[in-house]
Structure 1
Amino acid sequence: MRNTILIGLLLTTLNTAQSADYPLGSVQVLAPQSRETAPVAPTAVVYFTVRNAGPQADRLLGVDTPLAGRAQLHAMASDDGAMSMQRVSSVELPAGSDTRFTNRGYHVMLLDLARHPREGEQFPLTLHFEKAGDLQVQVEVHRDLPESSP
């Protein structure tokens, strides 16, 4: 009996430690994650992968969350070797492909934070797709994100 309880607790811990995936028609949002922020940080960032398994392209038009006054889509760009962050109005999601939102590419910036996310917490983020519609996900907050994050 004791071994059964220990195995059950271990499986529960493993299941909650894995990031959730969120399907909406042919679009799926994989492993939405954010990094814990310092109490004085003016912004937070969200990373994830969007899988478009459908035969048609879609587009991510925007995001919002009650955690921030503003949530924006951003991209990193290189200009003569210097990296810069630029706000983008939307992100193309080609048919049959994955689009990764990472620290070196597309990502979501959260501005005017209502509070600072802490390790172990989750917060809602709604993604607005042109064709698939709106999808709410729960973003998991980590102290440090693994190098392989989305």
Structure 2
Amino acid sequence: MFNGWMVAARRQAVQVLLAGAAVVVSGPVQSHGATVGALQVEHPYAVPTVVGQTEGAVYFRAIRNTGPAADRLIAAETPVAQTVRLQGDESPSKAIALPARSVRVLRHEQGAPLLLQGLQRPLLEGERFVLTLHFEHAGTREVVVWVQQPREPKPSGHAH
């Protein structure tokens, strides 16, 4: 009797652990991104385009620089467009500064940080495509860009 109870308890514990693991594994699928060196690229996304539209844009929920040194996004490329133009801090085609220990929010309501020029085809909602990012110090990293209708940011104000 005691052995039967122990087997049942172990089986239930394993099921709970597996269920917990499934939740942990499914988390990154919803919140995608990549890490390169001290940089964390969070949720790269593009807005759908229509037939005949030759330009699109890529945005990021954020790029976090957790390191002690500044870095810069200096170039990008993707097979879905002829060129990717950085909309840098000073003027177009300049690098995007990533100060040390900082978070750069690069969402759609702030303008396009990366302009896709010469789209090969429309960007359709639900699609994904590869974008290669080149950082001055951290190096090169491919990310997967999700094509989606952007959500409006949640209000950050709260009462105290």
* Alignment TM-score, normalising by the size of structure 1: 0.77
The answer (yes or no) to whether the contact 1:75–1:106 under 8 Å persists in 2 is no
Tell me the distance in 2 between the aligned counterparts of 1:19 and 1:129.
22
Q: Residue 148 of structure 1 is aligned with which of 137, 143, 153?
A: 153
Shifted more, 42-51 versus 100-109: the winner is 100-109
Read off the aligned partner of 1:74 and give its amino acid letter: Q
SS at match of 1:95: coil
Read off the aligned partner of 1:128 and give its amino acid letter: H
The answer (yes or no) to whether the contact 1:76–1:105 under 8 Å persists in 2 is no
Greater helix share, structure number? 2
SS at match of 2:84: strand
What does residue 31 of structure 1 align with?
Answer: 43
Unpaired runs of 5+ residues, structure 2, are 1-14, 155-160
Tell me the distance in 1 between the aligned counterparts of 2:88 and 2:47.
18
Bigger Rg over Cα: 2
What does residue 101 of structure 2 align with?
Answer: 96
- Kindly indicate whether residue 127 of structure 2 is the aligned counterpart of residue 121 of structure 1: yes
Q: Quote how far apart the aligned CAs of 1:92 are.
A: 1.1
Q: Alpha carbons of 1:16 and 1:91: their partners in 2 closer, same or farther (altered >3 Å)?
A: closer
Matches within 5 A, 1:39-118: 39-48=51-60, 49-74=62-87, 86-103=91-108, 104-105=110-111, 107-118=113-124
Q: Which has the higher contact order (CA 8 A, sep 6+)?
A: 1
Read off the aligned partner of 2:57 and give its amino acid letter: V
- Kindly indicate whether residue 139 of structure 2 is the aligned counterpart of residue 133 of structure 1: yes
Unpaired runs of 5+ residues, structure 1, are 78-85
SS at match of 2:87: strand
The answer (yes or no) to whether the contact 2:88–2:94 under 8 Å persists in 1 is no
Q: Quote how far apart the aligned CAs of 1:19 are.
A: 3.3
Greater strand share, structure number? 1
Q: Alpha carbons of 1:16 and 1:95: their partners in 2 closer, same or farther (altered >3 Å)?
A: closer
CA RMSD of aligned residues (A): 2.6
Read off the aligned partner of 2:126 and give its amino acid letter: G
Tell me the distance in 1 between the aligned counterparts of 2:52 and 2:27.
32
Read off the aligned partner of 2:146 and give its amino acid letter: E
Q: Deviations over 1:41-97 (max 9, x none)?
A: 1211110121100000001101110110010111599xxxxxxxx513101110000
Number of equivalences: 132
Report the identity percentage: 35
* Alignment TM-score, normalising by the size of structure 2: 0.73
